[in-house]
Structure 1
Amino acid sequence: MGKKNVSGWSTIIMLLTAAALFTGCSASAGSKPSAELHEKTMHWDKMPEMTIDLDKSYTAKFTTSMGDFTVKLYAEDSPITVNNFVFLAKQGFYDGLTFHRIMETFMIQGGDPKGNGTGTPGYSIPDELDTELKYEPGIVAMANTGKPNSGGSQFFISTGKDSENLNQMPNYTIFGKVTEGMDTVLAIAKTPVKETKPIEPVIIEKVVIVQS
C-alpha cells in the first residue's frame, strides 16, 4: 500500500504508540523477571506445526478478571498466526497472564509470560502482513520486537482511534477481531495505569478456543 503524507505531530504520535507494541528484544531468553512478576514456565524451541483446519472457523473466548469477551480469529488471512495462538491457548499458556500494558485510546497488550514486556514462548513466528485488513477498535494483532518476523505470544487489542494510525505503517499481523464483549475490552482500557502499566493487575483467567 502507498504511504500517506502525515504531519510531523501525527508522525510522532504514531511512532510513540507503535513503540508501545514492541516486546523487549534486549532481554535474553534466560533472564529472570523480578520477584513480583508472574512467569510461566512453558517454553518451546520452535513454533508449532500447522494443526488448524482452514476449512473451519475459530473463535477465542476470553475470561478475564474484568469480564468476558470473544474474538473471531482470521485463520484464512493469517493462518500461521492463528495456528500459533490456538496452540498456545490450548496449552493453557495464556491462563493467568495479564494485560501488562494499557493505553486507553490505543490498545491493551497481553500474552507476556513474564508480565514485563520481554517474555516469549521461546520462538518467533513469521509476519503475515499481505492482507486487506485494517487496524481499528476491536482488532487483535501480534506485538513484536520492532524487527520483521519477531512475534511470539504477545498480542494487542485496539481500543480507540489512535490505533488507526497503525494503518500508515502496518507492521503487526492482524489475526482477529472482538465480536462480543467489546464493553469489557473498553473497561480494561480504562484501568488506571502508571506509565502504561496497570496499577492493579488485569488477569486473563482463561482462553478457550471454539472450532465450528
Structure 2
Amino acid sequence: MPATDLPDGLYARIETPKGNILLELEFKKTPITVMNFVGLAEGTLPFSNRDAKYYYDGLAFHRVIKDFMIQGGCPFGNGRGGPGYSFPDEFVPELTHDRPGILSMANSGPNTNGSQFFITHVPTPWLDGKHTVFGHVVEGQEVVNAIAQGDAIKKVTILRIGREAKQFAASEAAFKKLIAEKGRKAKEMKDKAITDRWPDLTRTASGLYYRIEREGSGGKPQSGSTVTVHYKGQLLDGTVFDSSYARNKPAEFEVGGVIPGFRETLLDMRKGEKRLVVIPPELGYGSRGAGGVIPPNATLVFELELLDFH
C-alpha cells in the first residue's frame, strides 16, 4: 500500500527477504513502547550491544514458532539481548492479542521491556496483561506467516502520516519524561489504594505507612542492634510471601542488614510493640524484586512485632 493511501497514523514498514510487513503503531495509547520502537528504528535513542546507527536493521527473526508468532529485535540473536535498558509495561484494556498480526513486546517478566518484539500468527489471549500490545499488521500478514527462523530484518522505516504522527518525535528526553510521568501516576494510584484500604495509617517523610497495633515500652534499637521479631509479609493482593508466625519461630537479625523500610520501622519501635507497615517499592526490593516470590516494584505489607533487641 503506498504511503499516500494510508489513513493518518504512525506506521512501521519492516523489509524482509520474504516481503514487507506494514504495521500501524498505537502511539497515542502506548506512547512509551512506540517511542522506544521508533527511537531504536531511527537511531534517535541511545543503545548498547549494537554497532549500528539503526538498531533493528540487519537483525534476525531469531525465534519463530509455527502457528504462534515470529520474534525479533535481539542484538545477540539468541533472545537474551536488549538495548542496554528496560522500560515499564503499558497494558491498555482495548489492546489485546485477539487476532493474527498483533505487534507486542517480548519480555522476561513485568516491566522488563527492551528491544525484542513479536508478531502473532493467531490470536494469543493468554498473553494479555503480560505483554504490551503496541500495534498491528495493516498489510503483509502473509509475509509474517512465511518468515522462517533466521530471516533478516533488512530495514525498518517509520512512516508519519498526518499532523499528530509528524509531531511524534522519539528523543531521549521525551522518552525519559514519559517514563517518569508513568511512574508518578502509578505511585499516585498505589498511594490512593493504600489510603483507601487503610485510611488511619500514618505516612512518614520517606513514604512509609504504618499503624501501631500495640504499644511497646523502653528504648529503641540502634543501627547495628540485633533484633528478635515476629512478622508476616504479604503483597497488596494478600499473597503471603513469608511468615515467622507460620514457622512458629521468631527471626533474629541485625537491623542494618534489611530493606530500608524494615530498617526505618525497627529503629522507631520499642520492645513489645506491634505494627502494621506498608512499604513502597523504593523502600523495599525496588525494580529487582526478590527470590522469585516478590515481583518487581511490589508494595509490601508487614505485620511486625519487636520481641527483643540487644
**Structure 1 match to 2:285:** none
Match of residue 141, structure 1, among 104, 129, 138: 104
Query: In structure 1, what is the Cα distance between the partners aligned to 2:102 and 2:145?
Result: 13
**Structure 1 match to 2:126:** 165
Query: In structure 1, what is the Cα distance between the partners aligned to 2:30 and 2:130?
Result: 14
Indicate yes or no: 2:26 matched with 1:65. Answer: no
Secondary structure of 1:210's counterpart equals strand
How do 1:7-86 and structure 2 match up within 5 A?
Answer: 57-86=9-38
Secondary structure of 1:204's counterpart equals coil
- Give the conservation status (yes or no) of the 8 Å contact 2:15–2:156: yes
Gaps of 5+ in 1: 1-55, 192-197
Query: In structure 1, what is the Cα distance between the partners aligned to 2:139 and 2:101?
Result: 10
**Structure 1 match to 2:113:** 151
Secondary structure of 1:108's counterpart equals strand
Deviation at 1:203, TM superposition (A): 0.2
Query: In structure 2, what is the Cα distance between the partners aligned to 1:131 and 1:112?
Result: 27
**Structure 1 residues 106-149: Cα deviation after superposition (integer angstroms, max 9, x where no partner):** 11100001100111100001100133111021000001112x11
Query: In structure 2, what is the Cα distance between the partners aligned to 1:129 and 1:165?
Result: 14
Deviation at 1:65, TM superposition (A): 1.6
TM-score scaled by length of structure 2: 0.45
Query: In structure 1, what is the Cα distance between the partners aligned to 2:19 and 2:92?
Result: 33
Indicate yes or no: 2:144 matched with 1:181. Answer: no
Query: In structure 2, what is the Cα distance between the partners aligned to 1:65 and 1:93?
Result: 18
> Which protein has the bigger helix share?
2
- Give the conservation status (yes or no) of the 8 Å contact 1:126–1:150: yes
Secondary structure of 2:143's counterpart equals helix
Match of residue 208, structure 1, among 149, 157, 179: 157
**Structure 1 residues 62-98: Cα deviation after superposition (integer angstroms, max 9, x where no partner):** 1012111100000111000001100000011000001
Match of residue 91, structure 2, among 129, 154, 159: 129
Secondary structure of 2:21's counterpart equals strand
Identity %, equivalent residues: 48
Larger radius of gyration: 2
> Which protein has the bigger strand share?
2
Query: In structure 2, what is the Cα distance between the partners aligned to 1:79 and 1:158?
Result: 21
- Give the conservation status (yes or no) of the 8 Å contact 1:104–1:160: no
Q: How many pairs are equivalent?
A: 143
Query: In structure 2, what is the Cα distance between the partners aligned to 1:132 and 1:173?
Result: 11
**For residue 149 of structure 1, what is the amino acid of its counterpart?**
N
TM-score scaled by length of structure 1: 0.65
Structure with more contact order per residue of length (Cα contacts < 8 Å, sep ≥ 6): 1
Query: In structure 2, what is the Cα distance between the partners aligned to 1:110 and 1:71?
Result: 14
**Structure 2 match to 1:9:** none
- Give the conservation status (yes or no) of the 8 Å contact 1:77–1:131: no
